[in-house]
Amino acid sequence: MSYIEISNLSKSYGKIKALNNVNINVDAGELFGLIGPDGAGKSTLIRIVTTLLLPDSGYVNVLGYNTREDYKKIRGEIGYMPAVFSLYSDLTVQENLDFFAGVFGATVAENYNLIRGVYHMLEPFKNRPAGKLSGGMKQKLALSCALIHRPKVLILDEPTTGVDAVSRRELWELLYDIKHQGITIFVSTAYMDEAKQCDRVALIQKGRVLGVNSPHGFAQMFPHKLYDVYADGIWSFLDKIRALDTCKSAYMFGSNLHYVSTDDAETTETLTNKLHQIGLSGDVDIKQINAGIEDYFIRQLTENAELS
Amino acid sequence: MIKTIEVDKLTKKFGSFTAVDNISFSVSSGEILGLLGANGAGKTTTIKMLCGLLAPTSGKIKVAGYNAYLQAEQIRTRIGYMSQKFSLYNDLTVWENIHFFGGVYGLWGKQLKLRAEALIDDFEMRPFMNLTVQSLPPGWRQRIALAVSLVHNPPIILLDEPTSGVDPIARRMFWETIHQISANGTTALVTTHYIDEAEYCNNVLVMVDGKLVAAGQPNELKSLYNSTTMDDVFLSLARNENTKI
């Protein structure tokens, strides 16, 4: 069953189309990622799903309820962690948690098991005002408050933005635990590398969904041979590489180059020869690789020039 | 290779807390160096000392040949700073931003005009130089911020999380430009906690609790720590040292 059903959804702000005919289904029990750069429409979509904003056209059903008519029912069943810290800064950790439990008619005691993984790190500070916590601790408190009524669906808007790599990894580990307790998760991020943490991912750019698949599934949708090339001084050859006859596209991938070939007969040998012919000397380390989600995203952006 | 930044046994204490703990490194001209660390690892304190904004407790820093704290004025005119988040005036046009920042750095008259024109051409900004920054897409804003940070022709630029949150194509256009600039001899120092940005650097330094715990090329570090990504390298370093978390 679809826990979140987003159908032909559009939303404009004046002339700007923030969402353009978006269709996404999130199944029960999934950890689903919404991935796209700043300004892609992620927060708008999340605000519509959480019943805080009405769409211009199309609809969203959450747990079978429509966000327009049945918003009250939805609000009781979801947990929402917005992008900005939205707890009461002058209440203590414990008071915030009690407050949010109370609002949803739950108690901290009955759902303590669910939040223990997140909350145990906060307990030593339970009498501290929330405003005086560090960034990572604030986030853990926000997550605890979003979970304290045991929602069926947990929705998080860019929880890893501005968070350092260690806390980022911790957060994803917490999300796994929460998922394994049977809670469906819908999470947005601007970081491509987080896609691999999700069961399925929707790629979004300029209000349009460019693909929905598992991280592994995107690799199979990539229609060309892809090569990973490492060579000293390769960046000064970029123009010449892009002018090669089999070059669909060539772009940086960290310290390496990704070469997308239009030729199904391309091999590491033929490509090595081409690179030597344009003057790249020394060791050239080439291997054919499976496309990652970022390769797929780049391809979609270049195939749809109006999107980039 | 000429060293544009030399840091020798640098330490900074705030009371009993050691924010930067006896670190040494050097950066060559044209190098792209990434400085990585979790929040509180000492990155910002290090950068502030490099810019002459904060006095070291002990140790030496030379930036572009000048002593960082004693000759701070000379250093500031030789450093460009770019952050993706807040480096431009959104309600000014592209042209106005370039001229404003040029003026701040002491350019004027014909010299400023020539430099501004050169940047507008190099960064292909002419079609929208009379539009306000806020009306442009994020990828372009970031490109303009980079152009503005180069207005006074600094030998060193500091990039603070320059491409977090931008789309993968805009990110690559940005890094290609950085590689071109560095090929012309400009040194780039990148601070970030987004490890994917680190992959685009020639060399990276990893700081944990004020100490320098690793230094090298991204590929070297990956094989040294038996990891496939810089993220894993960083996490294994940060978590080992940081057992208190």
Per-residue confidence (pLDDT) for residue A234, from 0 to 100: 87
The model's pTM is 0.88
- How many domains in chain B? 2
Say yes or no: A182 and A232 in one domain.
no
pLDDT tens digit sequence for B110-167: 999 999 999 999 999 999 999 999 998 878 888 999 999 999 999 999 998 888 888 8
Say yes or no: B236 and B161 in one domain.
yes
Domain that holds residue B234: 1-78+155-245
Say yes or no: B69 and B166 in one domain.
yes
Q: Which helix (H) or strand (E) holds B14?
A: strand B3-14
Say yes or no: B98 and B22 in one domain.
no
**Residues of chain B above pLDDT 70, percent:** 97
**pLDDT over threshold 90, residue B242:** no
Beta carbons within 8 Å of B107's beta carbon, 6+ residues apart: B115, B151, B152
Say yes or no: B72 and B160 in one domain.
yes
Q: Which CATH number does the domain housing residue A157 bear?
A: 3.40.50.300
Task: pLDDT band for A90, please (50, 70, 90 cuts).
Answer: very high
Task: pLDDT band for B238, please (50, 70, 90 cuts).
Answer: confident
In a domain, A297, yes or no: no
Q: What is the mean pLDDT of residues B32-59?
A: 91
Q: Which of B134, B153, B172 is the last residue before a domain boundary? A: B153
Q: What is the mean pLDDT of residues A8-24?
A: 96
Q: What is the mean pLDDT of residues A131-145?
A: 91
Closest approach of B120 to chain A, Cα-based (Å): 21
In a domain, A305, yes or no: no
Residue that has been written with the tokens 């916590």 in this structure: A133
In a domain, B83, yes or no: no
Say yes or no: A53 and A135 in one domain.
yes
CB contact under 8 A, B167 and A308: yes
Query: 3-state SS of B81-134?
Result: EEECCCCCCCCCEHHHHHHHHHHHCCCCHHHHHHHHHHHHHHCCCHHHCCCEHH
In a domain, B85, yes or no: no
Domain that holds residue A250: 223-289
**What is the distance between the alpha carbons of residues A293 and B31, in angstroms, rounded to a whole number?**
30
In a domain, B22, yes or no: yes
In a domain, A54, yes or no: yes
CB contact under 8 A, B169 and A191: no
Say yes or no: B138 and B128 in one domain.
yes
Residue A304, chain B, CB below 8 Å: the answer is no
Structure tokens at A152: 């069926």
Say yes or no: A209 and A250 in one domain.
no
pLDDT tens digit sequence for A237-269: 999 999 999 999 999 988 889 999 999 999 999
Say yes or no: A229 and A194 in one domain.
no
Structure tokens at A24: 């996404």
**Which member of A37, A238, A298 has the closest CB to residue B176?**
A238
Which of B153, B134, B148 minimizes the C-alpha distance to B97?
B148
In a domain, A308, yes or no: no
**pLDDT over threshold 80, residue B241:** no
Chain B interface, best mutation among A201, A255, A290, A298, by max B CB count within 10 A: A255
CB contact under 8 A, B164 and A190: yes
Say yes or no: A41 and A93 in one domain.
yes
Which of A260, A51, A73, A255 minimizes the C-alpha distance to A152?
A73
Q: Cβ atoms within 10 A of the Cβ of B88, count?
A: 24
Mean pLDDT of chain A, nearest integer: 93
Q: What is the ipTM of this complex?
A: 0.82
Say yes or no: A259 and A131 in one domain.
no
- A-contacting residues of B 184-213, CB under 8 Å? 193-196, 199-200
Mean pLDDT of chain B, nearest integer: 90
Q: What is the mean pLDDT of residues A25-35?
A: 97
Per-residue confidence (pLDDT) for residue A306, from 0 to 100: 67
Say yes or no: B194 and B231 in one domain.
yes
Say yes or no: B15 and B72 in one domain.
yes
Say yes or no: B139 and B168 in one domain.
no
Say yes or no: B5 and B64 in one domain.
yes
Per-residue confidence (pLDDT) for residue B233, from 0 to 100: 87
- How many domains in chain A? 2
Say yes or no: A115 and A166 in one domain.
yes
Q: Which of B104, B132, B153 is the last residue before a domain boundary? A: B153
Say yes or no: B54 and B159 in one domain.
yes
Q: Cβ atoms within 10 A of the Cβ of A155, count?
A: 25
Q: Which of A218, A242, A261 is the last residue before a domain boundary? A: A218
Say yes or no: A229 and A157 in one domain.
no
Task: pLDDT band for B244, please (50, 70, 90 cuts).
Answer: very low
Q: Helix, strand or coil for residue A173?
A: helix
Task: pLDDT band for B228, please (50, 70, 90 cuts).
Answer: confident
In a domain, A306, yes or no: no
Q: What is the mean pLDDT of residues A202-208?
A: 95
For A12, A29, A45, A200, A267, the CA distances from A4, given in Å and listed in that order, are 21, 11, 12, 13, 44
Per-residue confidence (pLDDT) for residue B40, from 0 to 100: 83
Say yes or no: A202 and A227 in one domain.
no
